[in-house]
Amino acid sequence: MNQMQLYSYKLDFRIWHPSIDPQIVTETLGLEPTHFCMEGQPRKTPKGRLLGGIHAESYWSADPFKRGEYMSSDDAAEDAISAVLELLRPHKHFLLLLQGQGGRLVLQISSFSARNYAIVLPPDLLMEMAALGISWAHDVHPYAQSW
């Protein structure tokens, strides 16, 4: 890796699917979701208040290592992404099945820094994400977050 870049970030692995029961995702991947909803179920706030309407698709999201905020001085985002892909690699068939059924799989990094920084993903990491059917999203915040 190049010169030390200073930033904080949070990882989330997210799946949107036309109709899968989120419990199947939880059981198959062995990860505890932070958020989930089932297609066709009433929309609710995290506290349970009804919002009106129903979910048009199923959704499942997890912090793969239940770590919350990372500091780049402890773990560079590229290294954390590599660790997530290693965790997901044994589930390649399942992930590609979800994608083939119209699902969208996204590994998202939400990051913050008060100075310029770069996250550089090498070709082998990008190829592995593609081989697992996973997109990468980088959500940049201009101010500190309360993750």
* The predicted structure's pLDDT at residue 5: 73
- Residue (of 73, 76, 57, 59) closest to 11 by Cα position: 76
Structure tokens of 88?
């997901």
Confidence band of 146 (pLDDT split at 50, 70, 90): low
CA 84/CA 144 separation, integer angstroms: 24
- Evaluate the CA torsion angle 68, 130, 99, 82 in order and state its sign: negative
Note the pLDDT tens digit of each residue in 49-63.
Answer: 899 899 999 999 999
Note the pLDDT tens digit of each residue in 73-107.
Answer: 888 899 999 999 999 999 999 999 999 999 999 99
Structure tokens of 137?
């999203």
Mean pLDDT of the chain: 91
Q: Of all helices (H) and strands (E), which one includes residue 118? A: none
* The predicted structure's pLDDT at residue 7: 87
Using DSSP, state whether 59 is helix, strand or coil: strand
Structure tokens of 123?
């070709």
CA 65/CA 10 separation, integer angstroms: 10
* The predicted structure's pLDDT at residue 2: 45
